[in-house]
């Protein structure tokens, strides 16, 4: 058995086949010797016994006369009918030969010495050897109970040469057939075992190559046979939803029996695969295909792992911050380019050589470990934003911000990884930023003081100017109304000009006073239920009626008389006065103005529309700026402060509303206000 185990697979199969053929031959030989030949001998015995009975019957029929002549006459035809009959001998009661018929050369060998003739009755048979061939003899006794009441015995010999010839021929045929079967079996078995061992040898060769680490050579050998290899080896960064199968469908379908008839290829590239096009139920083919696919898959995995490693290595090196990791014994096992730039050590000097404690001041590493295990800077095992110091190769102490994590497996620490950022530049910038912030705060305080003085002066000047200008306007208006006597035409024109200038000055003073109150947050808003038509729109129209007549402006008012809203009536009269006044100033002379107010659910929408040159699209965002006068306004003869719309917007926003402007250049302008219910 030990010797058999040392033989190769092909030799074992051949030896087993030869052993099986030999066993079949031995079984055939035993069957011939134990079954076929005994059956033929039994047939010969049976015929010999029947002939002996027939001879005995012929002897009993002879009563008198020449007994020998009659026996020869009667028994002669038997030798013609039975060519294997050698002799017939008749014995008397004393077993002495009384008659002989047959070949004389058999007479010397004939006799009853080989028979046990004691008291046995019935035929006695013996096989006597002869010089040329065996002879079967039968001795049949007649006790003489029937006429002629004489005891006698018949001794007959048959030639058994044909039986020996049949036996020899059977064994010769068996021997020849055995040789032919052995030769055919040898070549068939050798060819079949070669067919089996060829893929097995290839599998063994590829297995040895894998064991020697020659995976790439195996992959190169099988990649031409697997169209799906190109999909398997795709870059993992570009794959997304890859069409590559997770396992070969030919090995899954039918449990390795190949593609079923009429089966569609599961993937486009399967139609080019020989395993799909020439699929069989051969288990070795499936095993070979499985090994090839496994090798290709291993190659793809190895390639992807290498890509993962290279990608992660590039990612670590591309990180500007330092990254280090140490094992549970404190030795550094990860050290990126950021850490190398910061600390000055090369990876060869650090990896698996220096303990992480050497990078920190004395006692600092223990403090970091304690903070890592506590929950003061994150969850236990996590450290976030921990400010500490680290020592470079040249001995410099560098301030850093450290974040770290404890890596564990089965509640056992396997490594600690830390990410640290150099705070040197940040602290330098912070110092500069603090200094700049101090200077900015001082400048803001200075500007605030100047602004406060400016507002106080503005408020004082406008307040002081308000009374004399108002008195001057009252006096000029009295002259214009000719209270003190009739004026000449030139005087009347001059008084009208003085009144217009004083009106503009009073408007400017009002705007500056409103600006001062807005800037100092002293503009009070006192909302109350207000009839918009009666208390807002109508007073504004009445106050500007003279100007409308002078400019021949037509006005359309679409305001429900009963519409009431919660707002500050005085401030909104200023809003509408400013909007309508602007519509007359900057709209078309003899143009149109439309005032519309509508209640829209919980909103009130107010619109002042006028025909005119409109506002350019690029100027729409500027109209509500402080001291902003648009290009068209600068060329207009009417002077302004650039504060009216700024104050209008401030009043609307104090009511939690919003205002915007819409315009089509050369056609119209509309200011729209939306107020919520207050």
- Does 471 map to a domain? no
Q: In what order do the strands lie in the sheet with 85-91?
A: 97-102, 85-91, 152-159, 135-142, 124-128
Q: In the structure encoding, which two tokens stand for residue 546, read together?
A: 């003279």
Token representation of residue 142: 């007649």
8 Å CB contact between 188 and 1:
no
User: pLDDT tens digits for 434-469?
Assistant: 888 888 888 888 777 766 666 666 665 655 666 677
Q: Please, are residues 431 and 407 in contact by the beta-carbon 8 Å criterion? A: no
599 in any annotated domain: yes
Cα–Cα distances in angstroms (integers) from residue 662 to residues 586, 591, 626, in the given order: 15, 18, 19
Residue 334 located in a structural domain: yes
Q: What are phi and psi of 356, to 5 degrees?
A: -65, -25
Which stretch, 84-93, 496-505, 654-663, has highest mean pLDDT?
654-663
Task: Taking residues 608-637, report their average pLDDT.
Answer: 77
DSSP for 450-500, written as a single string: HHHHHHHHHHHHHHHHHHHHHHHHHHHHHHHTTTTS---HHHHHHHHHHHH
Mean pLDDT score, 522-530: 85
Distance between CA atoms of 78 and 58, rounded to whole angstroms?
A: 11
Residues 149 and 29 both lie in one domain: yes
Q: Does position 430 have pLDDT exceeding 80, yes or no?
A: yes
pLDDT for residue 276:
55
Q: What is the pLDDT of residues 342-388, one digit of tens each?
A: 888 998 888 888 888 888 898 888 888 888 888 887 778 888 888 88
For residues 511 and 73, give the distance between their C-alpha atoms in angstroms, rounded to a whole number: 177
Longest dimension (CA), the chain: 217
400 shares its domain with 536: no
Q: Which of 422, 453, 480 is the last residue of a domain?
A: 422
Q: How many domains does the chain have?
A: 4
Please indicate, yes or no, if residue 41 is contained in any of the structural domains. yes
Q: Collect all residues with Cβ–Cβ distance below 8 Å to 141 and sequence separation of at least 6.
A: 117, 121, 122, 151, 152, 153
- How far apart, in whole angstroms, are the C-alpha atoms of residue 158 and residue 161? 9
- What integer is the mean pLDDT of 324-337? 88
CB atoms within 10 A of CB 646: 20
The answer to whether the CB of 553 falls within 8 A of the CB of 587 is: yes
Determine the 3-state secondary structure of 378 from DSSP. Answer: coil
Q: Are 564 and 653 found together in one domain?
A: yes
The answer to whether residue 285 is domain-embedded is yes
Among the candidates 390, 422, 454, a domain finishes at 422
Say if residue 64's pLDDT is above 90: no
Residues 343 and 281 in one domain: no
Task: Give me Rg for the CA atoms of the chain.
Answer: 66
The alpha carbon of 654 is separated from its chain's Cα centroid by a whole number of angstroms, namely 58
256 shares its domain with 134:
no
Residue with tokens 């990876």: 347
142 with 223, same domain? no
Domain span including residue 21: 6-168
Least confidently predicted of 5-9, 61-65, 276-280, 616-620: 276-280
Q: Quick one: 562 and 647 in the same domain?
A: yes
**189 — alpha (psi -120 to 50), left (phi > 0) or beta?**
alpha
Tokens of 65: 């006369």
Whether residue 514 contacts residue 647, with contact meaning beta carbons closer than 8 Å, is answered with: yes
pTM above the 0.85 mark? no
We report the CATH number of the domain holding residue 664 as 3.30.565.10
CA distance 673 to 677: 13
Q: Is residue 276 part of a domain?
A: yes
139 with 257, same domain: the answer is: no
pLDDT at residue 236, rounded to an integer: 45
Q: Residue 599 has what pLDDT? A: 92
Angstrom CA distances, 530 to 115, 315, 544, 566, 602, stand at: 160, 69, 21, 6, 16
Beta strands in 551-657 (DSSP E): 554-558, 564-567, 592-600, 603-611
* CATH code: domain of residue 333: 3.30.450.20
pLDDT in tens, 534-552: 999 999 998 888 788 888 8
* Per-residue tokens: 610: 């006028």
Residue 171 three-state SS: helix
At a CB cut-off of 8 Å and minimum separation 6, what does 555 contact? 541, 548, 592, 593, 594, 595
Domain-located, residue 564: yes
Q: Which residue pairs from 513-522 have beta carbons closer than 8 angstroms and sit at least 24 positions apart in sequence?
A: 513/459, 513/462, 513/463, 513/466, 514/574, 514/643, 514/647, 515/458, 515/626, 515/643, 515/646, 515/647, 516/455, 516/458, 516/459, 516/462, 518/647, 518/650, 519/451, 519/455, 520/455, 520/459
Q: Is 660 strand, coil or helix?
A: strand
**Same domain assignment for residues 309 and 337:** no
Let me know if residue 404 belongs to a domain: yes
Are 528 and 635 found together in one domain? yes
Question: Could you tell me which residue, 202 or 654, shows the higher pLDDT?
Answer: 654
Same domain, 68 and 137: yes
Residue 288 shares a structural domain with residue 330? no
- Domain endpoint, select from 292, 314, 336: 314
- Alpha-carbon gap, residue 671 to 658, rounded angstroms: 11
């Amino acid at each position: 058995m030990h010797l058999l185990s040392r033989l190769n697979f092909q030799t074992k199969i051949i030896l087993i086949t030869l052993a099986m053929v030999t066993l079949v031959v031995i079984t055939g030989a035993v069957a011939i010797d134990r079954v076929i030949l005994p059956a033929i001998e039994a047939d010969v015995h049976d015929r010999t016994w029947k002939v002996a009975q027939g001879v005995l019957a012929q002897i009993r029929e002879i009563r008198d006369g020449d007994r020998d002549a009659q026996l020869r006459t009667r028994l002669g035809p038997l030798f013609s009918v039975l060519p294997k009959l050698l002799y017939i001998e008749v014995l008397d009661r004393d077993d002495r030969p009384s008659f002989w018929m047959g070949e004389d050369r058999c007479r010397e060998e004939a006799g009853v010495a080989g028979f046990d003739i004691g008291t046995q009755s019935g035929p006695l048979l013996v096989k006597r050897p002869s010089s040329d061939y065996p002879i079967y003899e039968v001795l049949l006794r007649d006790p003489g109970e029937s006429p002629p009441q004489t005891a006698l015995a018949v001794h007959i010999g048959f030639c058994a040469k044909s039986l020996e010839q049949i036996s020899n021929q059977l064994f010769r045929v068996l021997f020849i057939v055995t040789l032919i079967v052995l030769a055919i079996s040898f070549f068939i078995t050798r060819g079949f075992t070669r067919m089996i061992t060829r893929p097995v040898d290839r599998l063994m060769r590829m297995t040895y190559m894998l064991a020697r680490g020659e995976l790439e050579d195996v992959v190169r050998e099988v990649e031409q046979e697997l169209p799906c290899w190109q999909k398997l080896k795709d870059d993992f960064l570009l794959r997304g939803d890859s069409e590559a199968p997770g396992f070969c469908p030919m090995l899954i379908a039918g449990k390795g029996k190949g593609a079923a008839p009429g089966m569609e290829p599961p993937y486009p590239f399967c139609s080019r695969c020989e395993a799909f096009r020439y699929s069989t139920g051969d288990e070795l083919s499936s095993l070979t295909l499985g090994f090839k696919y496994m090798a290709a898959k291993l190659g793809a995995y190895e390639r992807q792992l290498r890509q993962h490693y290279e990608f992660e290595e590039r990612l670590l090196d591309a990180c500007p911050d330092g990254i280090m990791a140490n094992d549970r014994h404190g030795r550094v096992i990860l050290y990126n380019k950021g850490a190398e730039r910061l600390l000055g050590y090369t990876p060869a000097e650090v990896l698996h050589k220096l303990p992480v404690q050497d990078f920190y001041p004395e006692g600092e590493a223990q403090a970091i470990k304690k903070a890592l295990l506590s929950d003061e800077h994150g969850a236990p095992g996590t450290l976030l934003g921990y400010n500490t110091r680290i020592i470079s190769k040249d001995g410099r102490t560098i301030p850093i911000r450290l974040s770290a994590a404890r890596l564990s497996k089965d509640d056992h620490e396997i490594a600690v990884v830390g990410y640290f950022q150099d705070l040197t530049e940040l602290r330098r910038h912070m110092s500069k930023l603090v200094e700049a912030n101090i200077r900015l705060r001082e400048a803001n305080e200075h500007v605030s003081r100047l602004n406060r003085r400016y507002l106080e002066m503005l408020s004082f000047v406008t307040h002081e100017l308000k009374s004399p200008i108002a008195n001057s306007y009252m006096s000029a208006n009295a002259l214009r109304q000719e209270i003190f006597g009739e004026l000449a035409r030139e005087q009347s024109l001059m008084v009208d000009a003085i009144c217009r200038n004083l009106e503009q000055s009073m408007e400017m003073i009002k705007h500056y006073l409103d600006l001062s109150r807005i800037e100092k947050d002293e503009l009070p808003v006192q909302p109350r239920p207000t009839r918009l038509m009666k208390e807002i729109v109508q007073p504004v129209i009445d106050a500007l009626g003279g100007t409308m007549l002078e400019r021949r402006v037509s006005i359309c008012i679409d305001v429900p008389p009963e519409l009431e809203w919660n707002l500050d009536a005085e401030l909104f009269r200023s809003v509408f006065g400013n909007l309508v006044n602007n519509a007359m100033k900057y709209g078309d002379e003899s143009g149109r103005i439309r005032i519309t107010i509508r209640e829209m659910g919980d909103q009130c929408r107010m619109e002042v529309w006028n025909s005119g040159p409109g506002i350019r699209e690029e100027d729409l965002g500027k109209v509500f700026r402080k001291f902003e006068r648009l290009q068209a306004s600068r060329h207009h003869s009417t002077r302004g402060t650039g504060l009216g719309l700024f104050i209008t917007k401030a009043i609307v926003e104090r009511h939690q509303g919003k205002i915007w402007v819409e315009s089509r250049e050369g056609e119209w302008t509309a200011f729209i206000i939306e107020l919520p219910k207050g």
